[in-house]
Amino acid sequence: MRTSVQIRGEEVIGDRSYAVHVRMDTDTSVAVEVEAQLPSGDVVAEGSIILPVTDLIPAIQLIEATLQGLATTRGGARSSSRSRPAPANAGAPWPAEQDDELRRLWTDTATSIPELATHFARSRAAIKARLLHLNLSPDAPDRTPQKITNS
């Protein structure tokens, strides 16, 4: 039996609204997506990471220490070199039909990640994370299904 756990958290910090979506579809890995938006809806930060379940605590400690160190060296200053509107489907679940379409577009065509992000109205980070979820490596030149492990 396969267990799926999803947790979503949102927090407003200053003028930004942060959203964190954590998904664990297997007993071995966890996918984390982070996005920050201005009140206008413009996305000013986004990213995703897939971690082995066994590495969660050390990864959290490393990320926290790294970001605190960066904030200290920058004096806590905020800077945003670019912003753009949030994708329409940001944070929405992936229906099976979209998984099938993503799999087909990735393996059967030369559709790029930015093109897929536009097509599915999702961020580039979300497309990469979903490809990994479907055992398709966004970095593999041949675009065939891969056996992705967390070793």
Which tens digits make up the pLDDT trace of 55-94?
A: 878 888 887 777 777 777 766 545 444 556 778 888 888 9
Residue 57 contacts by C-beta under 8 Å, 6 or more apart in sequence? none
**pLDDT, tens only, 7-61:** 888 888 888 888 888 888 777 888 888 888 888 888 888 888 888 888 878 888 8
Contact 29, 48 (CB under 8 A): no
For the four alpha carbons of 68, 72, 73 and 79, in that order, the dihedral sign comes to positive
For residues 47 and 20, give the distance between their C-alpha atoms in angstroms, rounded to a whole number.
Answer: 10
What is the residue whose two structure tokens read 């966004």? 138
The encoded tokens of residue 35 equal 């996005």
pTM, entire model: 0.48
Got the DSSP string for 7-38?
EEEEEEETTEEEEEEEEE-SSSEEEEEEEEE-
